[in-house]
Amino acid sequence: MKVRCGSCRTEFDVPGAGRFACPVCGSVNVVRTAAGQQPPPQQQAPQQNLGGYPAAPGAVPGAAPPPPPPAQEQTLPKVECPECEFTFHVGKIAKATCPNCSAEVSTGVEEEDEG
């Protein structure tokens, strides 16, 4: 930008705001911008993915993880049929019927009292 020396009216070029000595008379000329203040440095750098990698096309950022496996059923007591030695799960019942031989099997599980 062109400034004019305040002492000798000589025009000389300066890169911007600041204090510059006149090349002719040596007087220091304070150069200001139109606004009277030095503008802050605005470096419009292109937006970058800092600390990351570009997302692959089609990929959904922050995709939800696969759902957890379904909760397992409550572990039921296991009994062995005294007739056929077939082992099977029983519920909260004192006697169960063997699904293999239909024999009545005592599970040893106490039924819930109802009063």
Which residues inside 56-85 make contact with Zn ion, applying CB under 5 A?
81, 83-84
Shortest Å distance, C-beta 25 to Zn ion? 3
User: For residue 5, what are its two tokens?
Assistant: 């020396």
Rounded-to-integer distance, Cα 113 and Cα 8, Å: 113
Does residue 5 touch Zn ion according to CB under 5 A?
Answer: yes
Q: Which of 14, 21, 94, 101 binds Zn ion (CB under 5 A)?
A: 101
Q: Which is nearer to Zn ion, 16 or 26 (CB)?
A: 26
Shortest Å distance, C-beta 1 to Zn ion? 16
Does residue 8 touch Zn ion according to CB under 5 A?
Answer: yes
Nearest to 82 by CA among 64, 59, 100: 100
Does residue 96 touch Zn ion according to CB under 5 A?
Answer: no
Tell me which H or E stretch contains 30.
strand 28-31
